Amino acid sequence: MGSTFAEKLLARAAGEGVTQAGQIVDAYPNLIMSHAASWRCIRTLEKLGTDKLFDPDRIAMVMDHNSPAYSAKTAGDQKLCREFAASHGIKKFYDVDAGIAHVVLIEEGHVRPGMLLIGTDSHSTIYGALGVAGTGVGFSEVTATWVCGYLWMMVPESIKVVIEGPLSHGVYAKDVMLKLIGELTADGATYCSVEFHGSYVEGLSVSERMTLCNLAMEVGAKFAYVPPDEVTREYLERCGVARDAYEEIFPDSDARYVREVHIDGETLVPQVACPDTVDNVKSIEDVAGTPVNQVFIGSCTNAKYEDLVEAASILRGRHVAPGVRLIVTPASKQVLRRAIDSGVMSVLLDSGALVTNPGCGACAGDGGVMADGEVTLSTANRNFRGRMGSYDSEIYLASPVVAAATAVRGVIADPRDFIALPEGSIA
Amino acid sequence: MIGGICTKFGDGVNTDVIMPGRYLVSIDPVELAEHVFEPLGPEVQARVRNSPVIVAGFNFGCGSAREQAASGLVGAGVVAVVAKSFARTFFRNAINTGLLAITQADASDAAADGVEVFVDLVNAVVVVGDSTYPFPAYPESLIEIIRAGGLIPYVSQKLSDGGVA
């Protein structure tokens, strides 16, 4: 019997010939990411009484949450990270200007197929977009791995998700994942590695692959994975990664999966996750008309350049509804620069959007929070109670085009209504 | 055996409810404990503070990888969570902060709010009233981490013993 992606990758990361689901191994991550939690790792390291790091080149720090600092405490935490990185030879340090860790590390070419990556962020599954095993851990675990170089890992079972495409107009990777999360539920893939296959995935943009893998966390996945292909290689080249700088890993055709799920992309319609759980998913027609106070286009899920382009395609020549706040937070500085250069940013500003600095922003409740009784439609990945302000506020999750259509109408709206309208008309 | 009075929750208790993101500026379990379950209101918070065990349904601790969801519970005096299942990030964070996370569905069903629940790690059983519920024993490596009081004390001990491998 063949091996899954996870079994092969953990065999490599643990220096074992083969591994099987259920086995516990000591695995050596190629990259150890910490974001705003970096200061917690540094303080925890002090408790260990050592500052001898296993390999500073395997450590990456990105100041993405709470950036720029909003309090003296946060500023102090960031200062600690800055100074620690400088004094400990951590070259992969990205300051408050860079953007969201996941997107920045991918854009900077630090993430390559075949790697094992751990991060202080649950959405570290996103790295599967490049054929990487990425997973979230707590800050103590990152600290221990800084020093030891390895951590224990159980080789996970794998689930195969086969998505047949193409998707119909107005439907995106976000909708595919919300549909999957609704069907599998929030613990449908707990401890599992989720592999994406099928005609939809073949040739899909890296941006949309990132959305698929990012949201795999919301079914409880340990890893997510899209098989690397020519799209991956070309993308990596643009990020400055040579083709001989990595080794791709593919599952065997006779690998064992605990479950296989099929999604028919062609019949899929836009999906919305309703308060207060990500698996409370409904089709757009069941929630259309729900009034909102705020729309947020941001997060590691859906604030990449391609996401802003899609949102702008609806916002072009239109205006945000009176009394509604549209907040756009580009995922990274590179995304922001591209959006400025291409004119997408002007479209967003002309529509009435408030554009913030790159980073996690409102997704993590850093600015853009809600008052009691308010409602936000967000392109992010979580809608838990109180995540964006008041414990009495509500969050709906959807794609960037649903977000744009909703901002224009002031109520949750079907983007397909807009796509049919002539260019430049006022809705 | 460790344990005591339990507070019972349902399915899908997420990290943002256990420890809201706005309090992640702290890593002190005692400070964090003030805010454990804050979105559910002061009554639930008071109950949790007086119960060393939490009993829950499926997917306890789903959501964020924030370690403070586990360490905040430790700060509030919780010593064990018995649930039908755990999100993997919470499970790891629990072990790493010295909090027992035991998967035992029948014990979860058997335990009502306010009853006494005990966990015997050596014999790998949960005790609810007169009934015992076995669970698959932790691997020895995890028991060592728990015994040390969490991952950092465990690694610290290893380092002072002269090796991490």
Q: Tens digit of pLDDT for each residue in A25-48?
A: 999 999 999 998 999 999 999 999
ipTM value, please give it. Answer: 0.93
The answer to whether the CB atoms of B16 and A385 lie below 8 A apart is yes
Beta pairing partners, A197: A162
Q: CA B96 to CA A10: how far, in whole Å?
A: 21
With a pLDDT cut of 70, the percent of chain B lying above it is 98
Chain A residues touching B67 at Cβ < 8 A: 40, 138-141
- Residue closest to A105 by CA, chosen among A153, A59, A42: A59
Reported as a pLDDT band with limits 50, 70 and 90, residue B164 is low
Q: Which residues are CB-neighbours of A399 under 8 A, at least 6 positions away?
A: A171, A172, A174, A175, A270, A302, A310, A379, A415
**How many Å separate Cα B109 from the centre of its chain?**
17
pLDDT recorded at residue A51? 86
Give the fold, CATH level 3, of B2-136: Aconitase; domain 4 (3.20.19)
Q: Tens digit of pLDDT for each residue in B54-102?
A: 999 999 999 999 999 999 999 999 999 999 999 999 999 999 999 999 9
Domain residue spans of chain A: 5-263, 276-419
Residue A108 CB neighbours (<10 A): 18
Which tokens in the block code for residue B20?
């809201």
Reported as a pLDDT band with limits 50, 70 and 90, residue A60 is very high
With a pLDDT cut of 90, the percent of chain A lying above it is 95
pLDDT at A277 over 80: yes
- Residue closest to A316 by CA, chosen among A272, A353, A357: A353
The answer to whether the CB atoms of B92 and A137 lie below 8 A apart is yes
Q: What is the DSSP letter of A255?
A: B
The answer to whether the CB atoms of A24 and B16 lie below 8 A apart is no
In A319-385, the DSSP E strands lie at 325-328, 354-355, 375-378
Q: CA A106 to CA A361: how far, in whole Å?
A: 19
Give me the sheet containing A294-297, strands edge to edge: A281-283, A271-273, A394-397, A375-378, A294-297, A325-328, A354-355
Q: Tens digit of pLDDT for each residue in A371-406?
A: 999 999 999 999 999 999 999 999 999 999 999 999
Q: CA A411 to CA A295: how far, in whole Å?
A: 10
Q: Tens digit of pLDDT for each residue in A230-244?
A: 999 999 999 999 999
For residues A170-181, give the mean pLDDT: 98
Which tokens in the block code for residue A3?
């091996």
Chain A residues touching B22 at Cβ < 8 A: 365
Give me the residue label for tokens 């008052």: A371
The answer to whether the A5-263 and A276-419 domains have the same CATH topology is yes
Q: CA A418 to CA A120: how far, in whole Å?
A: 39
Q: Tens digit of pLDDT for each residue in A315-324?
A: 999 999 999 9
pLDDT recorded at residue A49? 87
Reported as a pLDDT band with limits 50, 70 and 90, residue A421 is very low
Question: Rounded to a whole number, what is the distance in Å from the CA of A81 to chain B's nearest CA?
Answer: 14
Q: CA A20 to CA A225: how far, in whole Å?
A: 17
- Residue closest to B153 by CA, chosen among A135, A32, A143: A143
Which residue among A73, A122, A140 places its CB closest to the CB of B96? Answer: A140
Average pLDDT of chain B is 95
Give the fold, CATH level 3, of A276-419: Aconitase; domain 3 (3.30.499)
Q: Which CATH class is domain A5-263?
A: alpha beta
For residues B11-32, give the mean pLDDT: 95
pLDDT at A330 over 60: yes
Average pLDDT of chain A is 96
Reported as a pLDDT band with limits 50, 70 and 90, residue A364 is confident
